[in-house]
Every structure is written in structure tokens, then in C-alpha cells.
């Protein structure tokens, strides 16, 4: 920073005091501001916004903690959010928790060291790891998970009702052996989506066999292996309701491995109408979360000093993968599980 000040002082003929005031966010005469701006452009200098933030308390940095960098739900939201933040001259610093609470806490502490002003997170813990951020005066916004007893804003999707509706569709056209493939049972979203599944069965006056609610802590590989196992049963399912993009991916992979035709041998409802829903034939019935709207809502919450909880509505994309019940399918070939 000192070398930048000396370079600009020599270029402009202004005092190092004036240059320092301007670079640290304090007011200077408009004529001097114009001179300094021209010098910066001429010298092609890039100012360190973080260094300026050490003086002004405003770094324009938004810290982000997500479970996995390759998670399509998270990265789709962040792609939109990044553009919105750039328009505000704000930048994201992204770290992943890898579904490890110790790494999640380490990520939060690193971002606090970087002097982030805001912290946006898809938490995997009960929220305890974010208390240090809140106590430091950093605004925290949770996405996709509701955390109790934490002074933070949150953006949720009412996927419970959507799961109820797609399950109701299967039950209404004759399905009775319907399996729920959920994610990690500790997650708020898994619990809410399971409740939607249960509500549909209750509305039809039908019991749910315990073995037809299956959790998948590692959604893709567990979803794959558990779907394979379903077709070793004496009474395999005629319908599957998945509760996340990755469990949908695992289920589709398994059905392809078993040479079972979706929309013919088995009905399948998926999650998030993105690439997979368009590639699979026939086109999947999916619950589409409003990822762009989530990003816009997070951006708006940055301007609100509140613990507001915003609940958005998903869209059900009706494909051709849910059909009237047919004879319970049998796998056409055996397959090895993913290890």
C-alpha cells in the first residue's frame, strides 16, 4: 500500500497525505479525486480493496460456505449471486465444508480473518459454527436450511408441499409401493420433504411401510446403491420419489444399470429441472427450485438488518416419467454397487 501511495504522489504531484486519505475511503477535493483517478488509470494500478477495508471497515467481501464446490444447486445460485454482487462492487470468497463440521468451522474462521462483511452459507451443522461470525458483527444468511436459535436471516423453499403433490399424483393413478429416497436425515430439507411424502399417504388413508423411507447421507452413491437394492425385494416399488438432485442422479444411474425404462417399468419423480431432467428420456417430472430467485433474495437481504425468513415456492415440471401403475418391475440384469 505504501508503494502505491508513493507512486501516485509522484505521478500527481499531490501529497502522500491526500493520496492516503483517498485510498482509505475518506473525502478529498473533487479536483484531487479526478487527478488521482486519472493517475490510477494511467498507471494501470489495482487498489487492494481489503487493505482499504482495514481502515474503513468496509471490504465489500461476501464470504460463502457451501458443502461442496461441485454441488449444482449451490453453484447455480452462486453464479447468479456473483453477477448481482459484482454490480454492487462486491466480491465472493467461497469455501467448502465437505460435509465436515470441523472444516465448516475452519472455513468460517478463515472468512472472518479475511474481514468479510457478510456470510452466506448452506450449513451442515446446527448453526453453532456460525455464532462466532454473528458475535463479530457479521451478517449471516442461511440458504436451504432453517437453523433455530441463531440470529440469522434465511432463504428457504417450500419443497414439502411440492413433494406432497408429486406423491399424491402417483397415489392417485394407482401406485401403492412408492419409495421415498431422501438425503441426510439430519438435514432440515430432508425432514420437510419426508413430511410432504407422509402427508400425501395420510390424505389417501394409506400406511407407509418403514422400509419405503430411505435416507441417503451420500446422496449420489447411496441413492444408486439403495435403488439397486429396491429391485431385489419380493415386492419392488412401482414408483420412486427422490428428494434432491443428487438422489435423483443416483436413482437414474441405477435404473439405467438395471435396464429398467423410466415411465414404463417404473415411475420416477426427480428434483431440480436442470440438465438431467432434459437429458433423461422420457422427460422427468421434477420439482424445480427457484435458484435465481434464491440468489436475488439473498442479495436483497444484504441490505436488511433483520433475521427475516423468506420462503419461496418451487415449480413442479410435469414430464412423462410418472405413469399409471403397471406390473411391479423386475430388474433385467444384476449390478454391482458403487463402493
CA distance 86 to 81: 9
CB 35 within 8 A of CB 15: no
Residues 140 and 51 in one domain: no
pLDDT digits (tens, 9 = 90+) for 246-279: 999 999 999 999 999 999 999 999 998 666 667 7
CA distance 183 to 105: 22
What pLDDT score does 110 carry?
96
Phi, psi of 83 (to 5 degrees): -65, -40
For residue 96, give the CATH number of its domain: 3.40.50.2300
What pLDDT score does 306 carry?
86
Domain count, the chain: 3
Residues 102 and 116 in one domain: yes
Is residue 306 assigned to a domain?
no
What pLDDT score does 204 carry?
98
Residues 185 and 272 in one domain: yes
What pLDDT score does 336 carry?
60
Residues 190 and 279 in one domain: yes
Which residue, 98, 123, 151, sits at the end of a domain?
151
What pLDDT score does 19 carry?
83
Which residue, 290, 312, 328, sits at the end of a domain?
290
What pLDDT score does 147 carry?
87
Beta-bridge partner residues of 1: none
Widest CA span in the chain:
87
Residues 139 and 170 in one domain: no
Residues 166 and 254 in one domain: yes
What pLDDT score does 316 carry?
94
What pLDDT score does 242 carry?
97
Residues 134 and 169 in one domain: no
Is residue 328 assigned to a domain?
no
* Structural domain range at position 178: 159-290
What pLDDT score does 212 carry?
98
Residues 186 and 219 in one domain: yes
Is residue 140 assigned to a domain?
yes
Is residue 318 assigned to a domain?
no
What pLDDT score does 52 carry?
54
Is residue 260 assigned to a domain?
yes
What pLDDT score does 290 carry?
95
Is residue 303 assigned to a domain?
no
| Helical spans, DSSP H, in the chain | 2-12, 16-23, 30-43, 49-56, 72-86, 101-113, 131-135, 159-172, 188-203, 219-230, 245-257, 275-279, 291-301
What pLDDT score does 226 carry?
98
CB 235 within 8 A of CB 326: no
DSSP characters for 250-284?
Answer: HHHHHHHHTTPPBTTTBEEEEE--SHHHHHSSSPP
Is residue 304 assigned to a domain?
no
DSSP class of residue 48?
-
- Give every residue of the chain whose pLDDT is below 50, as ranges: 50
Residues 24 and 91 in one domain: no
C-alpha triplet 221, 223, 224: angle, nearest 5°: 65
Is residue 326 assigned to a domain?
no
Q: In what order do the strands lie in the sheet with 153-157?
A: 91-96, 61-66, 118-121, 139-143, 153-157, 309-312
The cell numbers describing 10, all together, are: 509522484
What pLDDT score does 55 carry?
54
List the one residue out of 148, 207, 147, 202 whose CA is nearest residue 177: 207
Residues 192 and 76 in one domain: no
Residues 280 and 166 in one domain: yes
List the one residue out of 88, 25, 89, 90 whose CA is nearest residue 61: 90
Q: Is 213 helix (H, G, I), strand (E, B) or coil?
A: strand
Residue pointed to by grid coordinates 459484482: 86
Amino acid at each position: 500500500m505504501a508503494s502505491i501511495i508513493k507512486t501516485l504522489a509522484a505521478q500527481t504531484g499531490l501529497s502522500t497525505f491526500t493520496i492516503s486519505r483517498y485510498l482509505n475511503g475518506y473525502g478529498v477535493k473533487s479536483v484531487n479525486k479526478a487527478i488521482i483517478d486519472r493517475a490510477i488509470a494511467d498507471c494501470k494500478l489495482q487498489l487492494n480493496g481489503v487493505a482499504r477495508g482495514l481502515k474503513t471497515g468496509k471490504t465489500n467481501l461476501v464470504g460463502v460456505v457451501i458443502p461442496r464446490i461441485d454441488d449444482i444447486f449451490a453453484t447455480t445460485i452462486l453464479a447468479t449471486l456473483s453477477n448481482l454482487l459484482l454490480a454492487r462492487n462486491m466480491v465472493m470468497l467461497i469455501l467448502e465444508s465437505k460435509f465436515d463440521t470441523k472444516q465448516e468451522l475452519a472455513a468460517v474462521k478463515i472468512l472472518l480473518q479475511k474481514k468479510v462483511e457478510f456470510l452466506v452459507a448452506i450449513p451442515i451443522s446446527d448453526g453453532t459454527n456460525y455464532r462466532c461470525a454473528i458475535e463479530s458483527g457479521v451478517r449471516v444468511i442461511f440458504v436451504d436450511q432453517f437453523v433455530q436459535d441463531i440470529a440469522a436471516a434465511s432463504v428457504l423453499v417450500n419443497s414439502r408441499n411440492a413433494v406432497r403433490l408429486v406423491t399424491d399424483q402417483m397415489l392417485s393413478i394407482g401406485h401403492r409401493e412408492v419409495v421415498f429416497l431422501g438425503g441426510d436425515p439430519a438435514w432440515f430439507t430432508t425432514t420437510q420433504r419426508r413430511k410432504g411424502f407422509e402427508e400425501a399417504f395420510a390424505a389417501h388413508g394409506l400406511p407407509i411401510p418403514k422400509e419405503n423411507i430411505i435416507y441417503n447421507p451420500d446422496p449420489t452413491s447411496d441413492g444408486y446403491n439403495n435403488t439397486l437394492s429396491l429391485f431385489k425385494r419380493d415386492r419392488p416399488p412401482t414408483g420412486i420419489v427422490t428428494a434432491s438432485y443428487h438422489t435423483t442422479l443416483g436413482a437414474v444411474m441405477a435404473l439405467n444399470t438395471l435396464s429398467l425404462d423410466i415411465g414404463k417399468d417404473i415411475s420416477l419423480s426427480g428434483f431440480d429441472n436442470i440438465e438431467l431432467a432434459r437429458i433423461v428420456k422420457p422427460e422427468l417430472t421434477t420439482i424445480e427450485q427457484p435458484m435465481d430467485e434464491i440468489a436475488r433474495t439473498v442479495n436483497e437481504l444484504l441490505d436488511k438488518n433483520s433475521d427475516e425468513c423468506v420462503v419461496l415456492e418451487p415449480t413442479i415440471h410435469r414430464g412423462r416419467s410418472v405413469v399409471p401403475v403397471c406390473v411391479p418391475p423386475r430388474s433385467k440384469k444384476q449390478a454391482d454397487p458403487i463402493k
